[in-house]
């Protein structure tokens, strides 16, 4: 029987999953609302039922051999989701242990950006790279760091939280409780906050003034910028400046070959890439200048998170083969 | 014959070297002025003569099997010292290639902080650690990052330049040409600049006002602080705040088990450790709080650099044994 794996991406809004073969072909995928269940146990029961339903859609000549999970604050070592601010269930959630009741196969957890980085390494633009970083620009800013061909998990399993490095100690309040974190500037919500700040502090006309604050989205800002809206253009420039500055700090840590931008805001193309690259180069130490590529993810975005999660299982299997 | 290795530390002022066995015992060590020679080739000739002189001091039952070198901007991959601001010889210096003319044995180069990190892993406080960072607080701020038991060299061989992450884009001018680099605040010269700033901006009495600006050293500031001098104490507090803030950013990258402080300024003990630890914890993301140790280097400082350089050879030999 052909071997397949399940890739699951647990997000603050939706939980997506898919079933993939080793080449990354998607056999079935589905999505359901994450926070509808009262308890985490009910959520897992729902997840199990959904996966079973999907399994029926594919012929019974396939064998599911593992489950990879990407989740906010997912800890690779302990298999727990710990204090994820965007999930309804608080504290430490023992997801791999609890899921073992349903599936007695290898289950691997890590955070969503690490999963994306693994996917990029196996199926995307980092296939021949040993040292690179994936930055996910969604509601927040996630990061997965790869060194010598391996995801960096760190001593406690929580490496790669570049979104919470500090831009300004007196800066914007972050969901994490700190002030001035990078993700309060460089993310879909960060650019929206920048637009609101610009609207409040100057008189430049802007189509975005016609919208309620709550209703402005990163897509609105992108469309406005493409139509020449000055506030929107300035917001992209500012976002790129802050992101470029902090990426120059990141490069001074692990000296990657490339940084991949991933997720909603990265879809704005040149609007975000150009200023980020310009300011990154400006702030880089001379030994790094013009040596680090800034690239869009090469994985189709709608599948990136679940494919990345699935890839964790294939990587682990390859590792154990190499060790034996 | 017992096998020994040479460890060389090339600094902006002095070049130190020593001959060590695998247990880290020093058989002979010596030092000479780095920048006295007009050309880099003359410097290497001098280095060769000095090493040969030292070899004669030890009995002829020993066999030198390798040379490890720590140098500013030393590149592990290419064996070159590239554009080191504190050396007289500019451009790219092919040190391992040129030294091969004198010694046809393995020669390994890296930067001084990476060498110190390797020494800490083999002989110091990081013996049982797989993920840690060494910060050297000397004239500048160097760093060596270890992930999964290996020094991170990065794609171009220049990983670990935390001293050039940016504290303030409009901050102090750095020797590297940028503004506001961490090492302009957190280093022996950084704390001196802080003292001068404090002297200029307030009226607090201080023993340090009696000295010429050029003559104030980090040791003077340490002695003054130990005697209760308010300017000196405030300078240590400020240095620790900036260092703690930027170490919190660093932890968000590789989530180390410990950070070791090394070099002159770290000798000030609680004066630098207490504020650095306090502010590091203050700025850390909650998942890291109280999990990362801040420790003094466990290697006797006078030998740390050359022992670290020597340890590069033993590590490489161990690696090739494990691969065979």
List % helix, strand, coil for chain B (3-state, nearest 5): 45, 20, 35
B312 shares a domain with B252: no
Q: Are residues B253 and B145 in the same domain?
A: yes
Rounded Cα gap, residues B96 and B93, in angstroms: 9
Residues of chain A with pLDDT > 90, as a percent, come to 81
User: Cβ of B177 under 8 Å from any chain A Cβ?
Assistant: yes
Confidence (pLDDT) at B158: 93
CA A204 and chain centroid, separation: 34
* DSSP β-bridge partners for residue A64: A4
Q: In this structure, are A27 and A162 located in the same domain?
A: no
Residue A45 in tokens: 């029961």
Which of A96-110, B43-57, B267-281, B297-311 comes out lowest in average pLDDT? B297-311
pLDDT of B323 higher than 80: no
Task: Check if B196 contacts A (Cβ < 8 Å).
Answer: no
- At A269-297, the pLDDT tens digits run 999 999 999 999 999 999 999 999 999 99
* Statement to judge: residues B95 and B140 lie in one domain: no
Statement: residue A217 has pLDDT above 80: yes
Q: B310 and B271, same structural domain?
A: no
* Predicted pLDDT at A157: 94
A125 inside domain: no
For residues B147 and B279, state if they share a domain: yes
User: What does the pLDDT average to over B225-230?
Assistant: 97
Q: Note whether residue A124 is domain-resident.
A: no
Number of domains composing chain A: 2
Whether the pLDDT of residue B99 is over 60: the answer is yes
Partner-chain contact A158 B287, CB within 8 Å: yes
Closest CA to B301 of B258, B257, B265: B265
ipTM value for the complex = 0.94
What is the chain A residue with the closest CA to B92?
Answer: A287
Residues B198, B96 share a domain: no
Chain B residues within an 8 Å CB radius of A129: 155
Cβ of A83 and B286 within 8 Å? yes
- pLDDT score of B322: 67
A88: confidence class by pLDDT, cuts 50, 70, 90: confident
Enumerate the residues of chain B whose CB falls inside 8 A of the CB of residue A164: 252, 285
Average pLDDT over residues B75-103: 92
Could you give the C-alpha distances from B192 to B208, B216, B233, B239, B268, in angstroms and in order? 10, 7, 12, 10, 14
Of the candidates B154, B178, B285, which has its C-beta nearest A161's C-beta? B285
**Looking at residue A39, which CATH number applies to its domain?**
3.30.420.40
Query: In the prediction, which pLDDT does B84 show?
Result: 84
Strand partners, B108: B68
Helices H / strands E in chain B, number of each: 8, 13
The Cα A206–Cα A224 span in angstroms is 8
- Which phi and psi angles does B29 have, rounded to 5°? -145, 160
Q: Does A110 touch chain B (CB under 8 A)?
A: no
* Residues in a beta bridge with B134: B144, B260
Task: Say if the Cβ atoms of B287 and A148 lie within 8 Å.
Answer: no
Mean pLDDT of chain B: 94
Q: Do A283 and B169 touch (CB under 8 A)?
A: yes
For residue A20, pLDDT beyond 90: yes
Backbone φ and ψ of B131, nearest 5°: -135, 105
Is the pLDDT reported for residue B324 higher than 60? no
Whether residue B158 is found in the same domain as residue B259 = yes
Residues B161 and B280 in one domain: yes
Residue A74 belongs to what domain range? 2-119+301-323
Higher-pLDDT residue of B73, B272 = B272
Q: What is the pTM of this model?
A: 0.94
Chains A, B: CB contacts within 8 A come to: 140
Helix (H, G, I), strand (E, B) or coil at A286: helix
Q: B115 with B141, same domain?
A: no
- Of A137, A5, A147, which is closest to residue A64 (Cα–Cα)? A5
- Cβ within 8 Å, pair B255-A155: yes
Query: Would an 8 Å CB–CB cutoff place A255 in contact with chain B?
Result: yes
Q: Please give the Cα distance from B2 to B11 (Å, whole number).
A: 29
Chain B contacts of A162, Cβ < 8 Å? 252-253
Q: What percent of chain B has pLDDT over 90?
A: 82
Those residues whose C-beta lies under 8 Å from the C-beta of residue B8, and which sit 6 or more positions away, are B15, B16, B17, B47, B67, B68, B69, B70, B71, B306, B309
pLDDT of residue A257: 98
- Position A32 scores a pLDDT of 95
């Amino acid at each position: 029987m052909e071997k397949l794996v399940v890739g699951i991406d647990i997000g603050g809004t939706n939980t997506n999953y898919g079933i993939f073969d080793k080449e990354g072909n998607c056999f079935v995928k589905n999505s359901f609302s994450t926070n509808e269940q009262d308890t985490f146990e009910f959520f897992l029961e729902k997840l199990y039922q959904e996966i079973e339903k999907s399994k029926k859609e594919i012929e019974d000549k396939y064998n599911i051999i593992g489950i990879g999970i990407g989740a906010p604050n997912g800890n690779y070592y302990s298999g727990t989701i710990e204090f994820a601010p965007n999930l309804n269930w608080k504290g430490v959630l023992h997801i791999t242990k609890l899921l073992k009741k349903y599936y007695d196969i290898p289950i691997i957890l890590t955070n969503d950006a690490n999963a994306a980085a693994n996917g990029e390494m196996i199926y995307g633009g980092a296939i021949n790279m040993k040292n690179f970083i994936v930055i996910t620009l969604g509601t927040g800013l996630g990061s997965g760091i790869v060194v010598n061909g391996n995801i960096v998990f760190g001593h406690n399993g929580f490496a790669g939280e570049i979104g919470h490095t500090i831009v300004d100690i007196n800066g914007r309040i972050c969901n994490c409780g700190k002030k001035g974190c990078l993700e309060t500037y460089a993310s879909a919500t960060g650019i929206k906050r920048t637009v609101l700040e610009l609207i409040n502090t100057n008189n430049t006309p802007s189509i975005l003034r016609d919208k309620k604050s709550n209703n402005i989205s990163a897509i609105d800002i992108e469309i406005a910028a493409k139509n020449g809206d000055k506030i929107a253009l300035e917001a992209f420039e500012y976002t790129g400046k802050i992101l470029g500055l902090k990426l120059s700090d990141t490069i001074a840590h692990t000296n990657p070959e490339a940084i991949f931008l991933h997720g909603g805001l990265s879809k704005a193309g040149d609007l975000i890439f150009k200023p980020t690259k310009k300011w990154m180069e400006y702030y880089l130490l001379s030994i790094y200048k013009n040596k680090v590529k800034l690239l869009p993810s090469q994985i189709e975005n709608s599948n990136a998170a679940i494919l990345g999660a699935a890839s964790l299982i294939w990587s682990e299997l390859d590792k154990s083969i190499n060790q034996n």
